[in-house]
Amino acid sequence: MATLHDWLAQNADTLDQSESLSDEVMPALAAHGSFRAGVPLALGGEPGEYGDVRDAILGIADVARYSVTAAFVYWGQRSFIEYLLQSSNTALRDRLLPSLLDGSLAGATGLSNAMKFLSGMEPLSVQGTADGDGWRLNGKLAWITNLRPQRFVAAAAVAPVDGSTPLVAMFASGDDGVQRSDNLQLIAMRGSHTAAVRLENVAAPADYVIAEQAPEWLARVRPAFLGMQCGMSIGLAAASLDKASQVAAAARGQLGEQIAAAQQALKALTAQLLDGVADGRFVTAAPSMFKLRIALAELVQQAVTLELQAKGGHAYLVQEEDGFARRWRESAFIPVITPSITQLQAALAKHAAATQ
């Protein structure tokens, strides 16, 4: 029986350049138990090295070594699961979690806009009007991953029109007023069911509310959100450095020391990330996590460049590139995934100015 790694290796290029297998990514990951990583055992999780979200970070990194498209889907699904795990709405968690864990229901984070809002980068793009005990949602989310058309739920941070404290609520594919666009025509990772959503007077009853106080809750969940996002960088950098090392060793080239140094840097950054997520420091020290995300993105660029340098002209031959072209395209996504490197750098500059 083929393993998940076998399936990913066989289909990575197709997942990157085509939508033909987009409906198969979630079942493949779910069959491997991927979405259960870091989930408490009592709630359907599976045992892992750490027993918390660090297992999910490493799981996403492992998948990203083979396919960043699949890792992107994994991140979206597991992020939504994390939102429920960190929500006080246990009834919503208990209702949705089983089908999220087995992959029959797609979960989309929808909170990239919210994370930028939290750092003062942009306003919230969904507005809410009080409707009895619940809300009516209006707005647009321009880029959401893992919107599997058959059945999905997604989270959104909502700015009440009366100016009260923002909240986080979910919406579902079958709700009236939820309009999903066609999949976005991306240059890579086209099998990730990435689309836009418009919300027009969508009902979000009280039992759809994930967090009543968005700023405080977002700060608490951000380390997991960004940490799992960093898993994509970790896995892609590791894959390119492994390929570079193999080629350089066979060719007895001059890149061995640079590759080894990059591998050590990746190991050190990964350890810093896992430690910071575990001890909670990133909840209050967001700039430290932003710097780690930037450093990992830079390391991805260094890794794919080293792979190119090690392979030389062979990287441009279709029969010999061995996944390099896909990794090069995937690497171009790492700096722009929300919050982008440019946005994080702006947030760091703003923070530095405020603390002078």
- Looking up residue 262, the CATH number of its domain turns out to be 1.20.140.10
Is the same domain home to 271 and 308? yes
pLDDT of amino acid 354: 84
* Alpha-carbon gap, residue 65 to 37, rounded angstroms: 17
Is the same domain home to 16 and 48? yes
Count: domains in the chain:
3
Percent of the chain clearing pLDDT 70 (strictly above): 99
User: Token match 């991953």: residue?
Assistant: 145
Is pLDDT at 220 greater than 50 in this prediction? yes
pLDDT of amino acid 253: 66
Is the same domain home to 52 and 97? yes
pLDDT (average), residues 19-32: 97
pLDDT (average), residues 203-222: 96
* Range picked from 111-115, 121-125, 284-288, 313-317 for highest mean pLDDT: 284-288
Beta-sheet strands, E only, within the chain: 106-108, 126-131, 134-144, 152-160, 167-172, 178-180, 195-204, 209-211
131, 156, 194, 345 from 124: Cα distances, Å: 19, 9, 20, 20
Is residue 23 exposed (0-12), middle (13-18) or buried (19+ Cβ within 10 Å)? middle
pLDDT (average), residues 69-77: 98
Is the same domain home to 125 and 99? no
Greater pLDDT, 45 or 118: 45
Is the same domain home to 14 and 138? no
**What letters, b where the CB count within 10 A reaches 16 and e where it falls short, cover 185-222?**
ebebbbbbbbbbbebeebebeeebbbbbebeebbbebb
> Whole-structure pTM over 0.75, yes or no?
yes
Is the same domain home to 261 and 293? yes
145-202 pLDDT tens trace? 999 999 999 999 999 999 999 999 999 999 999 999 999 999 999 999 999 999 999 9
Is the same domain home to 45 and 118? no
Which residue among 54, 82, 107 closes a domain?
107
**DSSP structure string for 43-55:** GT-B--SSSSHHH
225-279 pLDDT tens trace? 999 999 999 999 999 999 999 988 876 667 999 999 999 999 999 999 999 999 9
Cβ neighbours, 10 Å, residue 250 = 9
Beta-bridge mates of residue 263:
none
Is the same domain home to 70 and 128? no
Is the same domain home to 160 and 118? yes
| Nearest residue to 152 via CA among 324, 22, 344 | 22
Task: Give residue 283's domain range.
Answer: 215-354
Is the same domain home to 235 and 298? yes
